[in-house]
Structure 1
Amino acid sequence: MRFFSSLLLSLPFAIAQATAWSKTCIVPASGNGTDDSPAIRQAFQECGVNGRVVFSENTTYDVQSVLQLHNLSNVQVDLRGTLVYSTNVRYWIQHGSHYYFQNISIAMEFSGTDIIIDGHDTGVIDGQGQVWYDLALGIGGLFGRPIPFCLRNVTNAVARNFKILQSGKWNFVMVESRNILVDNIYLSSTSDDYQANPGNLGNTDGWDTINSDNITITNSYANTGDDCVSFKPGSTNMYVKNLTCVNTAGIAIGSLGQYEGVFDPVENITVEDVTLIGSRNGAYIKTYMGKRTYYPPQGGGNGTGSVKNVLFKNFHIENITAAPVLIQQCSAWAGWDVPSCSEYPATGFIFDNITWANFTGWMNEAVGTTTVSLVCSPYSECSNIQVDDITVVPATGTGTASRICTNVNGFNASCGVSNSTSVEARMSADGVLT
């Protein structure tokens, strides 16, 4: 029996109901270009428990220092105004809130329980990211690039009705959190120099989840230059519905296996009703190769992991530049002296019970006609894979869509049904793959 998560929250949010707050703090703004972060911290200190914090509409708040808004409980944040981050590169590199995975740096993070953050359709977080796009050209993992919004170690939260613009790195990340509803969020990270240097938007993901459980993302939009949503290691019970992603890298699981010797699980993922326009990929799974090359965040590899119980359903695609249905196990840092994936294939991954269903639309004709590319390492287990109703066509409508399957149990090389066997069955007694 096939199982897929389908959470669309009954989310245990009595907190989303009207609540009689014991105290309300309206955050003052200096209005003269000085740092408003001390006033923001003070408001959360006074009203972060059983209270309400208000950023006033039509008001700009200058954020020039890191905001670690911790130990919150039963709080509503009315983010009606605009938070603008400074472009002080030296400060953010030295002082951002650190998290070990890919050595990320966070500019504003919330932690605690029972939190509502509501922008009321007027709230904006402006990361002023152009300085980072120019500085990090070709170095997506450049240390210190500030992530403007993070839910970190949060249980029970709603984030809705606001915009994040020009993020310095990833836009909206959830770390070690559970029971989160994200709804009606608008993300946009665009570079002035994108046409000449498209690489300078590297690592401007839309939503990222790390070591988190039971998260729903609905009714949202992203134009971010990299993954629209990325389910990173430890992401379980995720539900995504009704997204529009423009100029992104698609919906990603991974990359997994970046940290040598570490096992990365991702389980119970459902993503449906997604429109991808000008995307590099569709819905895809990516892992590192079987040899570590350099170190994270810029390098890595030779980890393991599993991806189980995944459904990608009802995708409409326009002008995609790679196969919309994709498994690739060949990620590596693009530095010098990187070995080939055939020499060091990914080892020890398990992909089980994964379905791509009802993909429509058209590809950019310059990239060929391959609509399905499921390339599993010979030392991974790829089983219970289904690919149904994939009708994405070449842009001209005249080409014939092709499919490539490698080492996928039950599929032949063109993804037709076969009697292929598992990795274990293809191993000889001395452990050599046959």
Structure 2
Amino acid sequence: MIQKILTTLLLALPVFGHSVTPQKKTCVIPVAGDGLDDSPAIREAFQKCGTNGKVVFEKDSTYSVQTVLQLHDLKNVEVDLLGTIEYSTDVRYWIQHGSYYYFQNISIAMEFSGEDITIDGHGTGTIDGQGQVWYDLALGIGGLFGRPIPFCLRNVKNAVAKNFKILQSGKWNFVMVESQNILVDNIYLSSTSDDYQANPGNLGNTDGFDTINSDNITIQNSWANVGDDCVSFKPGSTNMHVKNLTCHNSAGIAIGSLGQYDGVRDVVENITAEDVTLIGSRNGAYIKTYVGKPTYYPPQGGGGGNGYVRNIVFRNFHIENITASPVLLQQCSRWAGYDVPSCADTPATGLFSNISWSNFTGYMNEAVGTNSISLVCSPLATCEGFSYDNIDIKPANGTEATYECSNVEGYSSSCQKN
């Protein structure tokens, strides 16, 4: 009997020298309903459970977001995005109150900041930007100020975002800014306009995934139907990996735009994009830079920047019905409608080195003709260490593909090795 009592007492005593994992705080966000704003309840949940906790958006629930969400200072938090986040269409509010970031004057509707963050949609989570009002308002002006970006990881270290959808984004869909060590997995993006056939210009600047001033990001196992770049590695993007990605009606996989800000040195390096399918795309895997002198102002205009792009690998692409060259270097980005000098008068600068395209299959649209490779390097830039291998993209008319190279070290004008 005494032995039994002693054993019970010993079991009840605290154990020193062994860590005990505390139970995570869990905050389940209620839905206000009746057209009320759920943003205050969302903020409160992250304030209470944003450190060493869990925040739950309930399944089969729609949360109305009518005010900007800056979910900052998070640490070791799990977010179960089981329900739907739906943004209001109050154009005046979003133009005046979005969370601002200097690059191209972007405006963010919801941003997460902090470290060790997991956002999991479990296959049901949805973010609905209700973007049609913005497509109609922009009328082809992609840089229209205030267009809200529905999802952003900003100043984040160590995060996973997976298993959810973003629909009808007001501008870019999924943005990572000044962040590092991010895994993006099984994300579905769709931005389509009711008026696209009659006015295809009204769906401009609805990029899929964008990275800015960020490092060590993987984007994998995802699908997008967007009106602009499916992925865009913007200035400051380093150590990026894209794999197993399918893109419909996009502008392709892009490095840039670069050189938009006068006197600013842009850097993009160590990028791999592989196992990519592009259907109905404007471009394939391409690099784009602004002209060498500033013309008008960002975000619509710009130019005069410099920098370098190096160690880029594009491989295993399947392309269908592309309307421009699948292998492309474009060094004259500019906007129509302004008094813009010719590219010859304002050539871009910069260093472009160790860039390869390999194992491309598929076919082009009739609009592109036969030019499957177009590498036109500015006379004031340096393009070295370029290579391409097994580029088997067939012209729509069944003829042989043609190649165009200019100022690319080691290649003739027809892209044959010297």
How far apart in 2 are the matches of 1:21 and 1:193? 51
Partner of 1:15: none
Return the alpha-carbon distance in structure 1 between the equivalents of residues 102 and 225 of structure 2.
Answer: 27
Letter of the aligned partner of 2:309 in structure 1?
A: V
Contact 1:382 1:407 in 2 (8 A): yes
Whole-angstrom distance in 2 between the partners of 1:382 and 1:409: 6
> Which aligned pairs between 1:70-81 and structure 2 lie closer than 5 A?
70-81=72-83
CA contact (8 A) 1:21 1:52 kept: no
Q: Name 2:100's counterpart in structure 1.
A: 98
Query: Aligned residue for 1:127?
Result: 129
Runs of 4+ residues deviating >2 angstroms: 19-22
Instruction: Give the structure 2 partner of residue 401 of structure 1.
Output: 401
Give the 5 Å matches for 1:269-284.
269-284=271-286
**Other-structure match for 1:118:** 120
User: In the alignment, what sits opposite 1:415?
Assistant: 415
Letter in 2 for 1:251: I
What secondary structure does 2:44 align onto? helix
Alpha-carbon distance, 1:22 to partner = 2.4
Distance 1:20 1:367 in 2: 61
**Residue 358 (structure 1) shift:** 0.3
The 1-side partners of 2:168 and 2:62 are apart by 16
Aligned partner of 1:302 in structure 2 is 304
Measured after TM superposition, the shift of residue 302 of structure 1 is 0.8
User: Are the counterparts in 2 of residues 24 and 53 from structure 1 also a CA contact under 8 Å?
Assistant: yes
CA deviations on 1:56-82 (whole Å, 9 max, x unpaired) are: 000000000000000000000000000
Find the aligned partners of 1:366 and 1:42 in 2 and give their Cα distance: 53
Shift of residue 138, structure 1, vs aligned partner: 1.7
**Unaligned regions of 5+ residues in structure 2, if any?**
1-20
Per-residue deviation, 1:21: 4.5
Correspondent of 2:86 among 84, 90, 100: 84
| 2:364–2:394 contact (8 Å) kept in structure 1 | yes
Superposed CA RMSD: 0.8
Corresponding letter in the other structure for 2:25: K
- Identity of matched residues, %: 76
Q: How does 1:118-157 map to 2 (within 5 A)?
A: 118-157=120-159
Q: Give distance in 1, aligned partners of 2:71 and 2:165.
A: 19
- Within 5 A, what are the aligned runs for 1:170-185? 170-185=172-187
Displacement after TM superposition at 1:334 (Å): 1.7
The TM-score with structure 1 as length reference comes to: 0.91
- What corresponds to 1:250 in structure 2? 252
- The 8 Å contact of residues 172 and 207 in structure 1, kept in 2 or not, is answered as yes
Q: Which amino acid aligns with 2:201?
A: G
* 8 Å contact from structure 2 (residues 78, 118) kept in 1: yes
Bigger Rg, which one:
2
**Are 2:228 and 1:226 equivalent residues in the alignment?**
yes
1:247 maps to a residue whose letter is N
> 1:166-245, aligned counterparts within 5 Å?
166-245=168-247
Count of residues in correspondence between the two structures: 398
TM-fit CA distance, 1:395: 2.0
**1:298 aligned counterpart, secondary structure:** coil
Tell me the equivalent position of 1:357.
358
- In 2: Cα distance, 1:372 partner to 1:263 partner: 27
Quote the Cα distance in structure 2 between the aligned partners of 1:208 and 1:28. 31
Instruction: Report the Cα distance in structure 1 between the residues aligned to 2:257 and 2:197, rounded to whole angstroms.
Output: 26
Any idea what the Cα deviations from partners look like across 1:330-349, whole Å, max 9, x if unmatched?
001222211000111112x1
Say if 2:349 is the partner of 1:329: no
Which one has more relative contact order, counting CA pairs under 8 Å at least 6 apart? Answer: 1
338-347 or 243-252, larger mean C-alpha shift: 338-347
Equivalent AA in structure 2 for residue 236 of structure 1: T
